[in-house]
Structures are given as C-alpha cells and as structure tokens.
Amino acid sequence: MTQTTETRELTAEADDAETARALVAEQVPDGFELLQVHNAMPRGGRVIATAVIRESATQLIEADGADYVAARDALRARVPDGHRLLSIVVED
C-alpha cells in the first residue's frame, strides 16, 4: 500500500490560536488529512495558522519474486515517484 508524499499548505488568520486552527480545519477538503498546524503571531496581534495537509487516499501495488527479499525489492521498485510505501502484505 502506498500514499502520496505531496503536501499542500492552508492558512487562516484570527484573533486567537484556537479560532485560527478551526478556520484552517474548515478548509481541509474531503479526501485530505490535516498533518500539522503551526501558529505565528507577527506584529499586529493576529494569529496566523499555517497547516500542512496530504491526500489520504492509498494505492495498492503488487510484485512477485523468487523469495521474500526479491519480492520486497521488486515491490519497492514499483513505488511511484512522490509516494511512500506504507505496508507490505505477504501472500503465499
């Protein structure tokens, strides 16, 4: 199973950190997960929340090999650019 490593940023500005975070959370589109929120308070007293989101969809890939190591290496070679390998399931 693989998942993209590509992320996007969202921002929101409010009078306090809790509200800024809530405004960012409201912007997260369906099919995405909120990974991180960083709050900053530059001059002016307003809180700026910057969030990092990533698509939550996963993709199944398969590979064969003469033994576990060969199959694992073949599977790793099939991971698309911009994706990470989440798990390996061995089927006999």
Helices (H), the chain: 17-27, 68-77
**Predicted local distance difference test score (pLDDT) of residue 23:** 96
pLDDT-flagged residues of the chain (< 50): none
- Global pTM reads 0.79
59 close to 50: Cβ distance less than 8 angstroms: no
Q: How much is the mean pLDDT over the chain? A: 94
**CA-CA-CA-CA dihedral for 53, 62, 86, 55, to nearest 10:** 10
